[in-house]
Each structure stands twice: as structure tokens, then as C-alpha cells.
Amino acid sequence: MNRYLLLLLILAIAHISASPTIRPYDCANVPPMCYRLIGSKYTKMRLPNMLNHTRYEDVAADIKVWRPLLNSSICNAANQLKYFLCFTYAPVCVDKLISPCKSLCETVRDSCDPVMRQYNYSWPAFFNCNQPKKFHDDSSQMCINLKMLGIGKCSCKGSYTKKTLKALICKSDF
């Protein structure tokens, strides 16, 4: 009887290891606003994103809320807000979530907060730039910063080459 139990256990393990790996995330099309901004850099976003959206419809609806600020030349200078929103709501679909860096979050917050306050709004708590699990220091983990976007200058202790980014993206299953 123990032989049969052992054989059954071995077959179960072999079946599990031969089964395709189940990913803890899905890939969905990037919303139109982000697709126009990032072009052909990537077309699929990772869900859940860093705000725990699991549906494309929720991402698209939440991005629309930001339209008034996207039209502000102060808040959206050089498309900073748009990039920030796209990389937050529609991050590239790779194995490890790549979020905006703390420096990008702070730059966008500092430019948008005064405009938001004019209309009795404040920078949302879910975009608290000091949350290390959401917005990483430029040198601590891979994240999207101003320098990578070619916008302004930032003091980046760590930098990621095209080769490093390409390797990360290419090893991911789209």
C-alpha cells in the first residue's frame, strides 16, 4: 500500500511540475492615453497594478479623473504627470512590478499640489511618495525616474542601461 501511495505522490509532483506556471498577474492592453504617450515602448500593462486595480475598466476610469490636471501646463509640464499616471496605473507587464521612483512622484506632487489646492483638493494619500513599498528611492530598486524618461535632471545614484531593462522585459512572459 505504501508503494502505491509513493507512486501516486511522485505522479502528482510530476504533473504539477509539468503544468504551466500560474502567474499572479495578468496582462491587458494599455489605455489609449498611455499608449499615445509611450507609443510602441510597450502595449501591455500589468494587473493588478500598484493601486491593486484588477480590471482594465477601473484603470481607464481612474485615469480620466486626472484630465483637468493633465491640461495644466504647470502640473503636467513635459508630460510629467501623464508619465507618472501611466507608469502607476498602467505599468509594463513584466514579472516584477516596476513603479515610478520616489523622485518622479515628488516632482509631480510638488508641481500639482499647488494647482490642486486652488480647487480645494490635496495630493491623494494613495500617492504618498514616502511609501517605500510603492515608490522606491532611485538607487534602491528598479523604478522609473525623470532621467530615464529624458525629462529634467535627477540625482540618480543607480542607473539602468538599455541592456538591463531589455533583459528584464525580454525574460517576462507577455
Q: Between 160 and 93, where is the model more confident?
A: 93
Q: Between 160 and 106, where is the model more confident?
A: 106
Q: Between 174 and 130, where is the model more confident?
A: 130
| Grid cell listed for 18 | 509539468
Angle, CA of 83, 51 and 93, to the nearest 5°: 65
- Three-class SS state of 125: helix
Q: How many Cβ atoms from other residues are within 10 Å of residue 12's Cβ?
A: 10
| Grid cell listed for 15 | 504533473
Percentage of the chain modeled with pLDDT above 70: 72
Residue bearing cell 483638493: 121
Asked whether the CA dihedral 159, 161, 162, 167 is positive or negative, the reply is: negative
- Asked if residue 62 lies in contact with residue 49, where contact means CB atoms within 8 angstroms, the answer is no
Q: Taking residues 126-146, what's their average pLDDT? A: 85
In angstroms, rounded to a whole number, what is the distance separating the alpha carbons of residues 145 and 160? 10
Q: Between 158 and 65, where is the model more confident?
A: 65
Look at residue 21 in the predicted model and tell me its pLDDT.
53
Look at residue 166 in the predicted model and tell me its pLDDT.
59
| 174 pLDDT higher than 50 | no
Look at residue 152 in the predicted model and tell me its pLDDT.
58
Q: Residue 163: pLDDT band by 50, 70, 90 thresholds? A: low
- Which domains, and CATH codes, for the chain? 24-153 (1.10.2000.10)
Look at residue 167 in the predicted model and tell me its pLDDT.
59
Q: Taking residues 52-57, what's their average pLDDT? A: 94
Quote the longest CA-to-CA distance of the chain: 77
Q: Taking residues 117-144, what's their average pLDDT? A: 87
Look at residue 42 in the predicted model and tell me its pLDDT.
86
Pure H helices in the chain:
2-18, 32-38, 56-64, 67-70, 80-89, 102-118, 146-149, 162-170
Asked whether the CA dihedral 48, 49, 54, 57 is positive or negative, the reply is: negative
Q: Taking residues 48-75, what's their average pLDDT? A: 91
Q: Between 173 and 144, where is the model more confident?
A: 144
Nearest to 75 by CA among 107, 103, 99, 102: 107
